[in-house]
Structure formats: structure tokens, C-alpha cells
Amino acid sequence: MITFQLNGAPVQIADQGQTLLQVLRDDLHLSGAKLGCGEGECGACTVLVNGRPICSCLVATETLEGATVTTIEALAQTPDGTEICSALARTGGVQCGFCTPGIVMAWAGRHPDDTPDDALEGNLCRCTGYVKIRSALEQTGCLPSSKAAISDKADLSLKDALACLAENPDLIPIAGGTDLVVRAGHGLQSLRLFPLARLNTPELHQVFREGDTLIIGALMRWQDILHDPIIAQTVPIIRDVAYGVGSPQIRNAATIGGNIATASPAGDSLPALVALQARIRLIHRDGTREMPVAAFIAGPGHTQRRSGELIAGFVIPAKCLGQPQTFSKVGPRKAQAISKLSLATVKVPDDPAGISFAFGAVGPVPMTCPKAHHALASGIRDKDHLGSVAEQAMSEITPIDDMRSTASYRRRVAGHLLIRHCRELFAHDS
Amino acid sequence: MIGQSIQKWDALDKARGAFLYPSDLHCDRCVHLKVLRAGRAHARILSIDTVAAQNAPGVLRVLTHADIPGLNSFGLITADQPVLCHDRVRFSGDAVALVVAESEQEAREACRLIHVDYEDLPAILEAREALAPDAPRIGQNGNLCHQVDLGFGDVETALAESEHVVRLTYSTGRQEHAFLEPEAGIAYRDDRQRIAIICGGQNPFADQKQIAAILGVPVEQIYVSHPPMGGAFGGKEDLNVQAHLALAVQATGRAARYVYEREESIGYSVKRHRFEVDVEVGCDATGKLTGFRASLLADTGAYMTLGPAVLVLAAEHASGPYRFQASRIQGQVVHTNTGNASAFRGFGNPQVILGIEQAMDALAAKCGLDPVDFRVRNLLRGGDRAAAGHIVRNDVTLPRLIEAARKGPLLSALSEERPQPDPDGKLRATGFAFVWQGFGLGAGAEPGSSVTLRRDKNGHFWLDCSSADLGEGNLSAFQQIAASGLGCDPHDIRLDIGTTDNTNSWSTNASRSVVVTGNAVAQAAKQLAARIEAGESGALEEKAHFAPLFPEKLTLGAPHVGYSYGIQAVRIALDTATANVTVEEVETWLDAGTVINPDGVTGQIEGGLAQGLGFALSEDLVQREGRVLNNRFSSYILPTIRDVPTDVRVHLINHPDASNPLGARGIAEVGLTPAAAAIANALARCLGHRFEQFPIKPEAILPVMEKALS
């Protein structure tokens, strides 16, 4: 059985491979959270989990033990909820209204710095064009309270967790689950999940210095990364990656470790961590090992993670910290975009080329284009030479045609972006 | 009341999650449905084996064509689409079998156990192949679904003698409605033993007639209710869940529930018609328009749906609100195996406006004239013949809008633009389009609306009409109109609406609600007020009917009784590395006629604009052999809040329309229609290039941009 707080009262539900949205709508008859897409894109199912907006369609109930869940039915009774609902209703922000409860939740649980555009990236509205929603929300005075990142119900030691994983090779570790639940589709009940939220291991949830390196804990959620001052100061491209990950609802659930474990060629943290020359730290009951992220990613959906292993975090070398760096994501729209391609570039003082770079989504793994990198080491930085470096990179990447874009577009834009990034980073030298 | 932005009656409950939508409805002990779709573009059905599915856990019935008691077909114009296919499937979404089970999961699993033997047939995946002599026959009566040939005068001579002629050829995308609530409903036997279907839809009476024919029962035995739903935009005019729900109730005696999954909704529902357009527009040396020639080819997919009506509206509007000396507008709508297209906000006009409004810019440039001036000197006036051949009865009111628009920041700076990349690596330019959009169903197709207004014995007012509210707030507008006539508060008008037990106010579509039904409400209110004024006591009831008068008919569905007019200007930024287009600013000037609810009107324009941005830049189906690949919200690219500019301004400059006593104009579509044309004109200013495919994606812009910048 899973026990959690729902709208102020404890509920117990059977552990049978459902999503939170299914439990709310089908079992508990709370129909304020709507089913619009079932994959975390539309936000109509948004609820607050531990105070933060999350798409309930992406929450495997196994991960909810000890959590606090608030739905629109309860929020609408609070002063903040009343104010947000009234503002939207009064100013024409509600047309068909199917998306509205999710919008109310997203705004109620927003980060204190969020504008409506920041807070509602994950809420599709097909009726209003968002114009009146923006102006309604700007009129609301309520301020969100700060939320703890980690469930205070974490009760499992790392040692016990690793022992359990080592003994049960079919267990699937799940953090945010935003990718796993979508891929499982209707087959969620056939998976044996091991919720990592239960781990009482703060270092997996934090960013911290270790010697002169920086460690980013694998369980850091993207929303925390986005607002973390150390990240912003030392590895700003990781913050830029976070900005482009899904939406607040996705970032409040999804982790950096999950992004790497999923090993999607379109995962934006892959090229960024590769360009930062990061190493991945893997822990197992029988010991810890590290390897370059570039070596860990074996192919689309494939990594070097061994059975029973957990990703503990990412080690960023000192030489890349605080260096000028740039990340570009090219997607089909400005939020909630799966990358057509991406490029991360980091200035590295001891590198023969002066920079380290990696492309995402233009090959099965992040593409570092060794020949183009070598050509940059010549030190020539005029327009013609950069053009030939870009041509070289374009010949080394292996983009494909798919429903999102074409190989030709990806290849040409990769060249343009590399030139743009080089100019930007080399400008720091002059 | 009239003219005030009152809060809609249902807005607060919707925001609070308390409002029940069709997909929120449940019945005790209800059965669940799953439809087996063809999954192939065109094939002969050799056999359907349902034995394994029938014996699967939880399954009550597996229905096929053999189980349809009445007519195994439906359609709004012609009943040509099978409820469950018999011997042939004509698009990947064709329904082949229907599983009725105790749970959704069991229905889904049983569906996989149905074995269908197909013999694949050659498929038509391009509209232009549909009329080839050796093309496989898709439509009931061949592949030509409908055609029009409108115009007047000798266009060939007019174009030949023109000083300048611009010719544009292009195609448009298969846009998905993407209402946030998918197709959904429940059905059961009501206490009068009728089969009751409660679902999202746009015309309960049209549904009732089709369902009764399918079940082989009199219409009185079918009850249809459309409660307010999570959006429609034209995409819920054709039957979706209704017939399958009704069959399940009839076959099992149990209540039934069916909600499309998103993949089912995007993959198999109707779409905006893909058009291939070829236009030639000429003018003389002074900038006076001469000839207009258009050739339109529309792909309606396997079945007729509303294909002919969309084509007719497109032909009527193709030449814009401009005066020509001669014209010819030929159109064909054809059958293919690409999936069904039907009504979608704009209804053919977004496809054709791209021709005339781009041509107007191009001709103005050839004449060395300002593109606004060029349009102004060619506007239709009341009494003029439009290029489709009908007389435009009332003045085109665009001059009032132009005066205001010229003072706006976008159009006032138009002539000064020099598109060079800004320091941020972006090319910026302004583009604009004029638009006209007919409202109401066209000549011969508009039955008018009836409504009943009641005062019950307790003194409460009730509006009784069958109109469905798709989210746009038509019912609130009716409350305002009634309240104005009765001198009460709009929220004192109680609603008894949306069902076949109500007075028939026909469809919620075609920007007709306020103009047609609204005038019936105004009339009923006037009648009721007179009786109250006369001192009548107790319960009172007044029924009224309003139907616009059409002075002429070009063809079934054209012309429209009146038009709404607008100007839309956009400011775009084109990234010179990625070819991504950002729309940074949009300004719209609109003549909405008499405005009932100003926020309601601007909300329609803003919402239409966002859909127009999608139509212009990102929204299209990606298909392989007739199957939809991007059938999810992660792959079908809708605009997010970040894709709609924060700077969106709508100016209402209203002039009552003479076609109806209220003076209203229907405005639900006019905000969408011009967006893509305005963006295309801005891109042409950046790159000197006219694109041949919409949406205009970065993949198409990139090579053009690289050439322009090199």
C-alpha cells in the first residue's frame, strides 16, 4: 500500500502500477485534474506534490509514499486559489476552461521569480492565445511559499538501497519518471519500480564542491538546478540546459541523473556535460566507479550502467568551472521542445583548441567532432578558418531525417551555431 | 449588458475544477469502448475474426459492420463514411470493429486480439493524383467530391493586358484542432427508454438524425446533449464517439463511456483541408486591379464530410475584399486516402488568403506603391461585384480600420524598413494582411435559429435553445442579449440548453451564434418583454426564429449574408543561425459590428491568432503511407505561452452590420485567418522570397536565408 496526504487527509491506495491522475480521476472521483495528453505536455492534470506543480499523469503512485498532494478541489478553497480562479474568470482568461485548473495549480505553485510565461510553459491552452491568462495572473497578488526539494519522508539509507538493487536486478530505479512513465504507457503495472525519493542521502540531491571539482547530485531536479546560484556561477550552461528542459511541471519531477540514464540523443544535458568534460559517478553495493560522461553514453537509450548501479552524480573538473560557456538549443518551439539539435561550448584554458564542445541530437551520442576540434587548435580564428572548421564539424556529425526535422537542416544549423559559439567565446580573448 | 465584458456564467466553476466536462462523466456499471482502426491507407477487408477478442476477459461484445441495425454510414452532407467498415478501409483511421468491455484496459487488450485479413490496395496520398485516369477509386461517386467554377468577365484577356501580374503557387498544412479535451462522452437508456448520448459536439440535432439512421430507430428515440466542452473549433461537427456509444448501449443494454486517447484524436479525427493553390492577380500601371484567377485543389480525404462547403467558402473569399474587372475561380475537392478533413475555424479562408494577400504586397511593390495604399484603392464598395460574382451589399468597412491602423507603431513604420540583421543576429520585419470573413452559414445552407424564452411561475427567466457552448461563451452572449431586452441582469437568465429536447437553434459553427441565434434571442426577449409590459402574469413563453435573408445565391453555401473585416500586422524576428521565426508583436484592428461582450470578442481574436501562428509556422501532420506519425502533443507542435508574443493588441472599431437587427458580425474565425498571410509577407520583406509550403518551417527557410545573406 502507498500512503500519502491528499488535500489534507491521509489516503492509502493499492500499489498497482497506476498514475496519480488515474487514482484521482477514476478511483477518488476528483475530476478537476483533466486528462489532455497523458505525457506531461498539456499540463491540464497539474497538481501540487510537496507544494510544487507536477503533471499527475506522469507520477507513478509508487513514488508518492509520504508525499503531500494538493489538487484544484482543495486549492480553490484557499485564499490564494480563490484569488487566482476569480482573476481568470473575471478577465476572460477562461474560454473552454479545460486547461484552467492546471493553470491555476501551476501559478499557485510557481517559483517566486516566475512571470506567467515562466510558470505556464507547461500549460497548453488552445482557446485564449494566453493573452488574457497573462493579464489575469499578473493581477494576482498572492506569493508562492518556498518549497522543500526533498521529501521529509525519506527513510531509506543508501546502503540498504544499493543492497536491494544488487539483489533484485529487475528493479527499475525511478526518480522523476517523466520519461519512464510515458514510455511505459499502459504497461506501467508490469514494471517493478524502485523509487529513489525514499533515499535519505542529501548529497545525491545537492550541488557541492569536492576539492577543486564541482559535484552535481544525480537526484537534483531541473527546477532546482535552474535556480541554483552555484550552478549559475560555475556551470551556467547547466542552468541554460535546465531552462530548456520541458516545463516547470517536468523540471519539478525530472532529474539530471534521469536525463543521462535515459540517454536520449535529444537529451540536452548530454552535450553540456560532455563539453564540460564531466565524469559520471556510479555507486554499487560493491563499490564506486567513475568514467567520462562521454564514455558512459553508449548509444540511444544505452549506457554503461550495470545492474544494481545507481548514478550518484557528475564531477565537473576545476578547469571548466566559471569559464565562459554557451549552450544553444534548437527546437520546434520556445518551450517544451524536444531538441532538433543542440550545442554546448566551454572555454577550457589548457585545451589545445581553447574550447571544448559537443553537439546533441545530431548523432547517436553527443558528437565532439575530433577533427574540427583539432582544426581549431591551429589558433587561426578568422572567418574563413571558422567556416572551414564548421564544414569539418558538419562532416563529422551524423544527423538523421525524422518527423522533427531533416538531416540537412541539422547539419547546416550545426555549422552556423559552432561559428556563433566560437566567435562569442573567442571574443573573451580580445 | 450588451457591450459589457461580463464574467461568463461557467468561468468560475471551470477554473475551480468543479465543472463536469463530457470526459468527466461516468455512469454506474458503465461499459468501456475501444475501436479497432484500420492502420493502413487503403485496403480490402478479406475477413474479420473476432472470436479471440469475444472470449477475452471482461469483453461483452465485439461489434462489426454486421451488427449495425440501420444505415452503416454517416456524414453531414452525404452519409458516406462507414460506422464500422464492411469490405474496404479508405484511411488509417477507418473503424473496423468495436470492443465493448467492462474496463478500458480489457477493451484495449481485446482489441489487439481481433484478426483482420486485408489485401492492401494502391493508395492516393496526394490530392493531385486523385483525378488521374488510372487512379484507384476512393469516393462513392469517384474521386471528385465537388467542384466550383465562379467568376465573371474575360479573365485571360484582363490578365494578358495587365501591366503587372503576380502568380503564386503553394500548399497548406493539415492542421489538427487539438482541442484540449479529446472527443468524449457517455450514453445510456434514459427514463423514457431513449438512447441518450451526452458528449462534445456542435449540433445535437444533426447528431440525432445521423445516430437514429445508424440504429434504425425513429429520431424521437435518440436524445443528444452537448454540455459545454473542452473546445471544438469545427472539429466536433462530424460524429466522433456518438455512434459507437449508441451502438454499445443498444447492444448491451448497459451505459457506456468512451474517451479518445490523444493519439486516437490526432491520428484519426478530422483536420483542416490541405489546399494546393495557384493564383494569378493582375493590375494596370496605375495600380488598379484587373484580373483574378485562382485554381484550388482541396484534399477532403476518404469521405465527403464538409469538403464541398469548405471549398465553396474558399472560392467565395479567395479574391479578398477587392474589386476586379474579371475573374475566374475554379476549385475541386477530391478524395484521397490521407485521412478526413472537415470544418476548422476559418473554413477554407486561411488557405486562400495566402494567395491574395501575398499577391497584393507583391503587386504593390511592382507598382512602387505602399502596400496599404495599393489595397485601399482597390477595396470593394457596397454594390460592387466581388470576384466570385456576387454583389457585396454593404460597404466594406476596412477604411475605418485603415485609418487607425496607419497610426499604429507597426504600419506607420512600414516604409522605413531595411532588413539587415540586428546585433542579436536576427532579421526583423513587419508584415500585414487585410481579411474578410463571411459569417453564418452561406446562402441555401443557413436554416436560421429558433429559441424559446420563458418566465416560469416563480418569475425566473429561462433561455431554451439547443446551442452548444464550445468554450467561446456564446451562451453568455445570449444571456446578455436576453437581459438587455428584458431589463434584468444577464446572470438572471437561466440556461436550458444544448440538447435535442430544446428549441432548435441549430449548429454552433460558422461564426453564426451571435448573429443568427443572437437575433432570435433578441426577438424572443422583445416579445416576452412586451407581454410583461402588458401586465401578463404567471408563466409566459415566447418562441422566435431568425434567419438572415439572402438576396442572391451563387451556389449552395455562397455568398454569405455579411462579412467581418480586419487588419492584422505582425513583427517577426528571423534568427540567422537557426532560421527560427519569432513573432514578437501582433496588432489587430477589427470591425466586430455590434459587440455584445468586448472581452469575448478580443478573446476570440487572440485565441484565433495563436492557432493562426501554428498554422503559419509549425502545425502540420507528418504522415507516412497515410499513417500519422506525430499523433501526440510532444510531436504535434502547438504554440506554448512562450510562442505567443506578450505584445498582442486588439482594437475594436465597430460599425453595425446591416444584415441583422442586432447589427452583429460573427467574429470567431477572423482572428485566425490573416496570421499566416501577415507572417508570409513579413518573411518576404526579410528574404525577398515567397514560400510554397505552409506551415513555413525553419527547414524550408534555411536554404533561402543562406542564399539571401550570402
- All structural domains of chain B: 27-121+183-259 (3.90.1170.50), 274-442+555-709 (3.30.365.10), 447-546 (3.30.365.10)
Q: Over 90: is that where the pLDDT of B310 sits? A: yes
| Integer CA distances (angstroms), B335 to A223, B41, B138, B269, B611, in order | 49, 12, 6, 16, 26
Option in A33, A130, A338 nearest B610 (CB): A130
Contacts 24+ apart (CB under 8 A), B282-285: B282/B158, B282/B159, B282/B162, B282/B163, B282/B164, B282/B165, B282/B166, B282/B363, B283/B162, B283/B163, B283/B164, B283/B363, B283/B366, B283/B367, B283/B378, B284/B162, B284/B163, B285/B163, B285/B164, B285/B367
How large a percentage of chain B has pLDDT more than 90? Answer: 98
pLDDT at B415: 73
How far apart CA B68 and CA B90 sit, in angstroms, is 19
| Location of C-alpha cell 440538447 | B499
Give B563 to chain A, closest Cα distance, Å: 22
* Inter-chain CB proximity B577 and A413 less than 8 Å: yes
Mean pLDDT of B276-292: 98
pLDDT at A146: 60
A328-429 falls under which CATH superfamily?
CO dehydrogenase flavoprotein, C-terminal domain (3.30.390.50)
Choose among B558, B564, B602: nearest CA to B445. Answer: B558
How far apart CA A353 and CA A159 sit, in angstroms, is 43
Q: pLDDT-based confidence at A148, cuts 50/70/90? A: low
Q: A37 touching B, CB under 8 A? A: yes
Q: Over 90: is that where the pLDDT of B9 sits? A: yes
How far apart CA B643 and CA A290 sit, in angstroms, is 41
* Inter-chain CB proximity B10 and A405 less than 8 Å: no
Phi and psi, residue B628, nearest 5°: -85, 120
**Per the structure block, which three cell numbers stand in for B258?**
468512451
pLDDT at A15: 86
pLDDT tens digits for range B482-515: 999 999 999 999 999 999 999 999 999 999 999 9
Question: Counting every residue, how long is chain B?
Answer: 710
Residue type present at position B686: C
pLDDT at A351: 94
Q: Over 60: is that where the pLDDT of B547 sits? A: yes
Sequence spans of domains, chain A:
2-138, 202-320, 328-429
pLDDT at A144: 72
* Inter-chain CB pairs, A–B, below 8 Å: 239
**Per the structure block, which three cell numbers stand in for B576?**
540567422
Among all residues of chain A, which has the CA nearest to that of B634? A41
Beta bridge partners of A69: A6, A49
Question: Counting every residue, how long is chain A?
Answer: 430
Give B393 to chain A, closest Cα distance, Å: 33
pLDDT at A237: 98
Please spell the DSSP secondary structure of A178-246, one letter per residue.
TTHHHHHGGGGGGS-EEEGGGB--GGGG-EEEETTEEEEETT-BHHHHHT-HHHHHH-HHHHHHHHHSS
Mean pLDDT of B477-482: 98
Option in A35, A98, A416 nearest B231 (CB): A98
Q: Over 80: is that where the pLDDT of B55 sits? A: yes
CB < 8 Å to A56, chain B: none
pLDDT at A16: 86
pLDDT tens digits for range B188-203: 999 999 999 999 999 9
* Inter-chain CB proximity B425 and A412 less than 8 Å: no
How large a percentage of chain A has pLDDT more than 70? Answer: 97
Sign of CA dihedral B309, B315, B321, B325: negative
pLDDT tens digits for range B105-162: 999 999 999 999 999 999 999 999 999 999 999 998 999 999 999 999 999 999 999 9
Mean pLDDT of B427-440: 97
> Which of A103, A131, A250 is the best mutation test for B, with the most CBs of B within 10 A?
A131
Q: Which CATH number among 3.40.50.300, 3.10.20.30, 1.10.287.70, 3.50.50.60 corresponds to the domain A2-138?
A: 3.10.20.30
* Inter-chain CB proximity A101 and B603 less than 8 Å: no
* Inter-chain CB proximity B180 and A98 less than 8 Å: yes
**Per the structure block, which three cell numbers stand in for B399?**
477604411
The answer to whether A57 and A39 are in contact (CB under 8 A) is yes
Q: pLDDT-based confidence at A186, cuts 50/70/90? A: confident
Mean pLDDT of B76-81: 97
pLDDT at B395: 85
| Contact map slice: A 280-339 vs B, CB within 8 A | 328, 330, 332-336, 338
pLDDT at B419: 77
Q: Over 90: is that where the pLDDT of B437 sits? A: yes
pLDDT at B654: 93
CB < 8 Å to A327, chain B: none
pLDDT at B1: 86
Cα angle B23-B24-B28, degrees, rounded to a multiple of 5: 110
Q: Over 80: is that where the pLDDT of A150 sits? A: no
CB < 8 Å to B699, chain A: 405-406, 408-409
How far apart CA A98 and CA A33 sit, in angstroms, is 9
Could you tell me the fold of the domain covering A202-320? 3.30.465
Please spell the DSSP secondary structure of B483-512, one letter per residue.
HHHHTS-GGGEEEEESBTTS-----S-TT-
How large a percentage of chain A has pLDDT more than 90? Answer: 93
* Inter-chain CB proximity B578 and A417 less than 8 Å: yes
